[in-house]
Chain A
Amino acid sequence: MKETKLLTRRVGKYEPLDLKGYEADGGLVALKRALAMGPESVIEEIKRAGLVGRGGAGFPTGPKWAMAAGEEQGPKYFICNAEEGELGTFKDKVLLDGDPWMVLEGILIAAYAIGAKQTYIYINGEYEQTIQLWEKLVVEARKAGFLGDGILGSKFSVNLQVVKGKGLYITGEEFALISSLETRRAASRLKPPYPTQKGLFGRPTVVNNVETIANVPVILANGVEAYRKLGVEGEPGTRLFSLSGAVKESGVYELEVGSGTLTEFIDEFGRGTSSGRPVKAVQPGGGTSALLARASLGCKLTTQAIRQAGSEIGTAGVIVYEEGSSAVDIVKGLLKFYGSESCGRCAPCRIGVVRMREIIEKVFQGEGTTEDLEQLRQIGKACVAASTCGMGQAFPLPVLSALELFPQDFEAVIENR
């Protein structure tokens, strides 16, 4: 199993602000091609490439762009989502820091394709240096004629605003992000209407993850056929996996979709667990994905295979837990985080997450009963079924899976009280 460097090919190869270095290494080819072929053809190519979103939900990118492009009422907006607040996920930072011009090129192409004049990149407030880098990048790009009026001598004009996130997990959700940019409390909204219909200030808006956007220049520069050669049927290309938790070596690795199994990935790139004890469980798609027990780790690293194993690929943030850690601790840690991050927009999540946190703390302190576990399960299921946005629908999944896979851990705490 080895890395396939498609998006991370240039990371560290040129000084982040050096446009010449980027251009010398095959940069800007895609933008020039896009401007020559026209917006409709760009969207068509992205559709044919079969690119799906890398931010967690996995929505196809081409159709999303087409929806926004098809709306008549302007102005339209494009937002690059670099909030990256999901637990165990830090892949976007590698691209933002290591190859910012590629991400910028992707943003310009996306804006061109949907007809947006104003674009935003909303960066996690904890990435201070990244934000500073991007503020300088905007100045450089304006000087070089890549932002402003008439990009590369065309009629296409666009601006980019670097926005610093203000420390809320929920702003990674697309409507919460939009609310934030409208200077409102960050909260999700009911869909439809989708952001592509009524997004920022009620206008058609496309929100794309950084990694998704980084795929765009690659597709247009190398061609759809070359791109589709990588990956598996229905999921072409590569994926950036963040590996963390109880492994010897954590990091971000770019792998061809389906090139190996979770076990191989953890053994070869993480060099096994930190203590050498076997793996107990893995969250393959960030903090809101269901736990997979050791027996299920033979699945390939594709959306389909991980779903069949009982979890989701999500943001591809692989979090490893080793034998000797208790599922009660894992669940308590996760609920402690999510318990203070609900936006409060809908009742199941607002109330559910707090109740679940209270119950798990009670259980942890040795005051729990079997009825408490049943209640944890019921509230979790209600949240999944009735919440408005992805957070409420997903945060109970690791809890529910822990109760199912490791009931003995919970019983042990309850019996020892």
Chain B
Amino acid sequence: MQKFKMETYQNLVKDVGGVTAENLFMFLGKVQEAFGYVPREVVRDVAARTGFSETRIYGALTSYRDFKVRLECDD
């Protein structure tokens, strides 16, 4: 797990050959695995790329056990 950086994220986008409606769910899984959560910046960016509303994406993310929308730590 690594700290969220826009640059790392952009590389993930490149790896999957661009984000579309057809691969968004799989891609969000990759983001989750890379950073341990799906950061707000990512939601904004993929919303713009797919044309889905941020609400819809949050609605999905918050309904699955294995997705987190904020970083959880043991402090």
A162-B65 Cα distance, complex, nearest whole Å: 19
Interface size for A (C-beta < 8 A) is 17
User: Which of A164, A186, A201 is in CB contact (< 8 Å) with B29?
Assistant: A164
A118 within 8 A of B: yes
- Please determine whether A185 and B65 come into contact, CB atoms closer than 8 angstroms: no
- Given A183-B52, A183-B57, A184-B59, also A167-B25 (CB < 8 A): no
B25 to chain A, nearest CB (A): 5
CB distance from A73 to the nearest CB of B (A): 16
CA distance in complex: A340, B14 (Å): 37
Whether the pair A163, B66 counts as a contact (CB closer than 8 A) is no
Contact B65 A168 (CB under 8 A): yes
| B22 on interface, CB distance cutoff 8 Å | yes
Interface residues of A (CB under 8 A from B): 118, 125, 161-164, 166-168, 180-186, 201
| A181 with B25: CB separation less than 8 A | yes
Interface residues of B in 1-44 (CB under 8 A from A): 21-26, 28-29
Q: Is the CB of B25 within 8 A of A183?
A: yes
Given A163-B26, A183-B28; 12 other pairs, CB 8 A cutoff? A125-B66, A161-B23, A162-B26, A163-B29, A166-B65, A180-B60, A182-B21, A183-B50, A183-B60, A184-B56, A184-B59, A186-B64
- Ordered by A's residue number, 15 sampled pairs between the chains whose C-beta atoms are within 8 Å are A118-B22, A161-B26, A163-B25, A166-B65, A168-B64, A168-B65, A180-B60, A181-B25, A182-B21, A182-B25, A183-B60, A184-B59, A185-B63, A186-B64, A201-B22
CA A164 to CA B63, docked complex, whole Å? 15
Residues of A near B59 (CB, < 8 A) are 184-185
Lowest 3 A-B CB distances belong to which pairs?
A166-B64, A167-B65, A185-B63
- Identify the interface centre among B23, B24, B50, B63: most chain A CB within 10 Å of its CB: B63
Q: What residue of chain B has the Cβ atom nearest to residue A125's Cβ?
A: B66
CB-defined contacts of A162 to chain B, threshold 8 Å: 26
Instruction: Determine the chain B residues whose CB is within 8 A of the CB of A184 once the complex forms.
Output: 56, 59-60
| Contact, CB under 8 Å: A183 / B56 | yes
